[in-house]
Structures are given as C-alpha cells and as structure tokens.
Amino acid sequence: MSDAVKIVVDDKLVLGEPFTKAASEFKARSPGKSALVLGSTGEVGREVVKHLMASDAFDKVTVLARRPIEYTGPNAEKLKQKPADFENTEQLERDFAGHTHAFSCLGTTRAKNGKDAFYKVDHDYALNAAKAAKTAGVEHYSNCSSNGADKNSMFLYMKTKGEVDSEIQDMGFPRVSIFHPSMLMCDRKEARLMERAASYVMPLLDYVMPGKMTIPTSTVAWAMVNNTFKKVDTPVAELLTNKQMLDEFKKSQ
C-alpha cells in the first residue's frame, strides 16, 4: 500500500499514569464501548488513533478515511478501517452504527485546496458526519475545531469553524466536546514556507504568552481522548481551550 498512512505507537508516545488509570477505570465502568475517528490520516487524527489504541479502553476503534492506514502498535486486532464517503449520508449512518464515541479531526486549508474545497470539507463534510453520528446514536461526539472559532467572524476560516461548532452543540448529543487548539505544532510533511517560518516564531511568542499561541498535535489528541474517560453527568456540551489542554497534560506528567 504505497499510498498508505503509517501510524506507529512506540515509546515516544507520552500518556502519563493519570491517563492510563483513567482509561482503565473508564473501561471497567463502561465496557463494550467503541470509537470512530474521522480525519484519521491528518496530523491530529493520527495522534488520536495512537492514543485510542494505546489506551486499550475501547473494544473497537474504526477509522473512516480515504487512504488506507498501516498501523504498528498494541491492540492492532481492534483497529477497523472503512473507506470514507462524506457525501453519502446514508452510508455514513451505517458507518457510525454500533459506535458509542466519535472523534472528528476533519479539516483542510484554503491555501492548500481553495475556498470552495475548504468549505466543503470543514463545513459540509463535518456536519454530514455529525448528523449521521447523531442519527446512529453516538453518545459522545468530540470535535477538533480551532482557537478563535466564531460563527460571526468576518474571516472565512474562523466563521466556518464557529458555524460547525454551534450546529454540533445544538444537535442534541448526550455529550459533545469542542476543542479549540491554537497553532498546531508537528512535523508536517507538506509544511509550506509560511508554516515553517511560523514554527520558529510562535514558540517565542508562546514564551511571552504561555498557553496561548501553540500546542503539539499529540497534546491535542491526548486531551481529546483523556477527556472521554471523565465521568460526567449528561447531557453536557463543553468547550476546551488551548490553555486548558496544555495545563491538563502538564499536570498529568
């Protein structure tokens, strides 16, 4: 599979004792749970898959993606793959059926694919998936959005992210969690010139304004998965900021 995306869980993955304990407690009180990951070949999505597989908290982890995945790591027998078709809502409902948790990490950029393609992925596909998940009975929907997301923003990116956040929160999931990371730090294979420049400048600004400017993709994934393990009274809709994700990760180490 030459076009396959490789996902490897190795000793570089940092979970922390509180994470593993929370995962064990979650599995004990909520056996038989299953998770589905959208955008599993992207930067955050790949990390979410790693953390889900390493946690051993779910009986099944399904990835819905257009490209195949080559996974190396623990619990490989629990990983299932399905081809993604975000325009076929009936198929999406069948894909989500039997899953209790969903992690949406869908997203592209206007610079990479143009305005229309960006809106189709980040708005239309994101909402098609969320609506299908709700119809299929998903209990907890976690959505990776963006810092500054605002449906009333004059900027297309922030406005689109805000619109999706708002609609997902209004769908009536028993539990919905929205994550607002700032600039994502990772070894992006197709990083553009401006992104490379920002990767050097942003950490300096982060030193002046800690917790505001950047966050590693692995920390976003850790926060999304770790948050799932928390026992909460439903229904609940929650928003987790960049600083909250960073602070919680640091406390766990």
**Catalytic residue positions, numbered:** 157, 161
Coil, helix or strand at residue 227: helix
List Cβ<8 Å contacts ≥24 apart for 156-163: 156/110, 156/115, 156/118, 156/119, 157/110, 157/118, 157/122, 160/118, 160/119, 160/122, 160/123, 161/122, 163/123
Return the axis-axis angle of helices 242-252 and 17-29, rounded to nearest 10°.
100
Cα dihedral 179, 182, 187, 188 sign: positive
| Residues 6 or more apart in contact with residue 13 via CB below 8 angstroms | 50, 51, 54, 218
Bridge partner residues of 103 (DSSP):
37, 142
Two structure tokens written together for 155: 């900027």
One-letter identity of residue 53:
M
CA pair distance 141, 100, nearest whole angstrom: 9
